Chains A and B, each alone.
Chain A
Amino acid sequence: MENFDNFDRSLEHHFNNMGEKLIPKQSQSLAYYVDISKSLQSLITFGVKLHKIEKTHPETLDMLTKLRVKEDLRPKLVFLHNELGIKPDQFADIITKCPQYLNPENEIYKTEEIVEYFTSKKFTKEQITDIVLRLPTILCYDVIKIDATLGFLQNFQVSTKQLRFQADQVREMVMRSPSLLTQSPSALHVNGQFLERSFGLRFDEIKRMITTYPRILLLNTEDLELKYMFMIRELDFNNDEVIKFSLIFNASLRVMEHRHGFLKSLGRAQYKTDQVGYLSPIEMFWCNEMEFMTKLGFHNRQPLDNYIKTL
């Protein structure tokens, strides 16, 4: 006869551990490990988007599952709060864009080096927090490379000459577009050559252009060429006016074509300062559609839509 005690013993283990969660050995997502690890749960309470990290930074997933709250997570977030003055509401954006910051191999002294470097170049504390909020990847970046790009910016090398910028100008350029810091000097040099050769600008004109719109060193050369040809042929610009209204390069070509065609159909497309009915291109192309229509005196977007439907 069988022993009923032995029959029950095999089920004891199952009933005692009924709440056990089965974890896969390999997976491409963090969803299976979130129920177990407290660090991932605390990241979710801050608002970090884990589904984005799976797509953009898949090499950091191993590290994120093995995080410990007290030894790894806490000191880095405390550093952000105390040294840089970032509020807990803003941690989420920083970690989704730079999860390597939480790597225990990237120790805190490397970010302290970066902050010291910026303070030595006379950036104020508020400016540094602004840079970190807008460009979080700089927390894991190498100080030597930042030094190289800033040095190249200050003595901007064009074909035969070095354009010297002052320290105040360089700081302003960095504050207006902090993503210049992660570019290599060769990429900036390519755009500078493009400005010289296909736009046909002189050296002092290139200097003026970079100070008015520093993001032009980041844009794609194909887009730049198309926009420049549009400005010269359709809007009737000289090189002087291209530099004066260089903020327009921020808008996409489609937006410029639609709005310029709409103004032409109304008969109000006048961009010369001497003439009657002058409209400044920056006010026309550097704003929303609703603002654009209210400036012209309309309450709806419908006149613009009706014009676009005739194209």
Chain B
Amino acid sequence: MSITAPQAYRSLKGLFAVYKLPNQSHTSLIDQVTTQILIGLNRLEQRPPKCMVAFKKLSNVTNEDFTWRVNQIVKDSTSSALISENNLSIPTNVVDWFDHPLVQGPRYTKEDLVWYTGHALDYEASGVQILGLQNDGEKMLGIVGKKKLGRTYEVKGRFGLATTTYTQEGKVLERTTWNHIKPQQINKALSLIQGAHRNALYRAAEMDLSSNEAYTAACKGTLKPRKFLGPLFLNIKLIEFSAPEFVIHITCLDESCQSLRALVANIGKRLYSGAVCTKVRRISDGIFSWDDEHTLLSHKLGGVERVIEATRDSYSRLLNDPRDFTSKRNRKRFPAADIPNKDRREKSPLLIAASENL
């Protein structure tokens, strides 16, 4: 038993992750995904064409028009006499050519799918991108976005150049040597940056750092600032260093792809050389990572059923996460005077929406 198109359309809602390829704009990504989903939806079983009511004289009524109602009218002797005397007409169902699929076209169009996105990637960047469908996607994105889960990136850089746009295609400001650089020096510079950003985070959290609450929050990863401080790079690691090229993994908060490229240039400066970013790639965005089977390639989604499975998988992951996105208990544990009353009384639409489906 395969799904019908209306069933599939009703279950297409929520969040799922897509792997974006480099050198692609955001609008073309969404166009790509919509066309693939629409092709899949319009191939499934559709509703039959609607009927139209036509008024016919008794003599013109055929065998096909004999519904229960017409039968009643014809069998009653009084009503049939009335009809034939005054030359009146009977309502019958007739095929409506207006609603034929070859006349109207495909039943599902672009306007039926409404997209909401998480943190958007650059034109040149690649990696995991969260997309939300319909109203449920908007609500879930609002919840997940407020929690400020960290994003990890893989950034590739190259020593020896300094440019205006921090990439190889910008105007060259400097050419430098890089023979003097060693991995221990790079690690030192990265740990300096990491420590400075972490200190800023602890200071801005407005919690008593010697208390147990702050310790448990830091262990869980929920110790986050309430104001906007700028991009924070909380965990920077060197993974590969081969001659002028190097690879870093960064976890960050409130960042943009250009800020990562500026970081790479900053690293080059600290090591008395110049650096330039060749590649930015997002490995994970909160719960979604590139390794999963449910992160789909943008040009090869694999069918409508695969997208539905991905949305259901994200539902279950958000509900079963130990960080508790939905419960009210957590809000009582970490009260703060600065939180306005609005946030405390907020309900969890995620639970309501998910319980309807399950």
A: residues with CB less than 8 A from B are: 15-16, 18-19, 30-32, 34-35, 40-41, 44, 47-52, 254, 305, 308-309, 311
Docked-complex contact B290 and A309, CB < 8 angstroms: yes
11 further contact pairs, Cβ within 8 A, besides A31-B98, A254-B299: A15-B88, A18-B89, A19-B89, A30-B103, A34-B98, A40-B97, A50-B102, A52-B105, A308-B21, A309-B19, A311-B126
Instruction: Kindly identify which residue among A15, A18, A35, A48 contacts B97, using a CB–CB cutoff of 8 Å.
Output: A35
- Of the A-B pairs whose beta carbons lie under 8 Å apart in the complex, a sample of 7, sorted by A's number, is A19-B56, A34-B103, A35-B96, A40-B97, A49-B102, A50-B102, A309-B290
Question: Which B residues, 8 to 65, have Cβ-Cβ distances below 8 Å to chain A?
Answer: 19, 21-22, 52, 54-56
Docked-complex contact A41 and B97, CB < 8 angstroms: yes
Cβ-closest 4 pairs across A and B: A51-B105, A34-B97, A18-B55, A19-B55
User: Does B300 reach chain A (CB closer than 8 Å)?
Assistant: yes
B: residues with CB less than 8 A from A are: 19, 21-22, 52, 54-56, 87-89, 96-98, 100, 102-106, 126, 281, 290, 295, 297, 299-300
- Please, which residues of chain A bring their CB within 8 A of the CB of B299? 254
- Please, which residues of chain A bring their CB within 8 A of the CB of B19? 308-309
CB distance from B156 to the nearest CB of A (A): 12
- Please, which residues of chain B bring their CB within 8 A of the CB of A16? 87
- Please, which residues of chain B bring their CB within 8 A of the CB of A311? 21-22, 126, 281
CB distance from B45 to the nearest CB of A (A): 19
Q: Which of A30, A47, A51, A254 gathers most chain B CB within 10 Å?
A: A51
CB distance from A20 to the nearest CB of B (A): 10
CB distance from A146 to the nearest CB of B (A): 32
Once the chains are docked, how many angstroms separate the CA of A34 from the CA of B96? 9
Docked-complex contact A309 and B295, CB < 8 angstroms: yes
Docked-complex contact B103 and A305, CB < 8 angstroms: no
Once the chains are docked, how many angstroms separate the CA of A309 from the CA of B18? 10
CB distance from B306 to the nearest CB of A (A): 12
Docked-complex contact A34 and B300, CB < 8 angstroms: no
- Please, which residues of chain B bring their CB within 8 A of the CB of A18? 55, 89
Once the chains are docked, how many angstroms separate the CA of A41 from the CA of B300? 38
- Please, which residues of chain B bring their CB within 8 A of the CB of A34? 97-98, 100, 103
Once the chains are docked, how many angstroms separate the CA of A15 from the CA of B86? 11
CB distance from B175 to the nearest CB of A (A): 24
Question: Given known contacts A32-B98, A41-B97, is B54 in contact with A19 (CB within 8 Å)?
Answer: yes
Instruction: Kindly identify which residue among B22, B88, B97, B106 contacts A44, using a CB–CB cutoff of 8 Å.
Output: B97
Task: Name the residue of chain B whose CB is nearest to the CB of A16.
Answer: B87
Instruction: Kindly identify which residue among A15, A50, A308, A309 contacts B103, using a CB–CB cutoff of 8 Å.
Output: A50
- Please, which residues of chain B bring their CB within 8 A of the CB of A49? 102
Docked-complex contact A35 and B103, CB < 8 angstroms: no
Task: Name the residue of chain B whose CB is nearest to the CB of A54.
Answer: B105
Q: Which of A30, A35, A41 gathers most chain B CB within 10 Å?
A: A35
- Please, which residues of chain A bring their CB within 8 A of the CB of B89? 15, 18-19
Question: Given known contacts A18-B55, A19-B89, is B297 in contact with A48 (CB within 8 Å)?
Answer: no
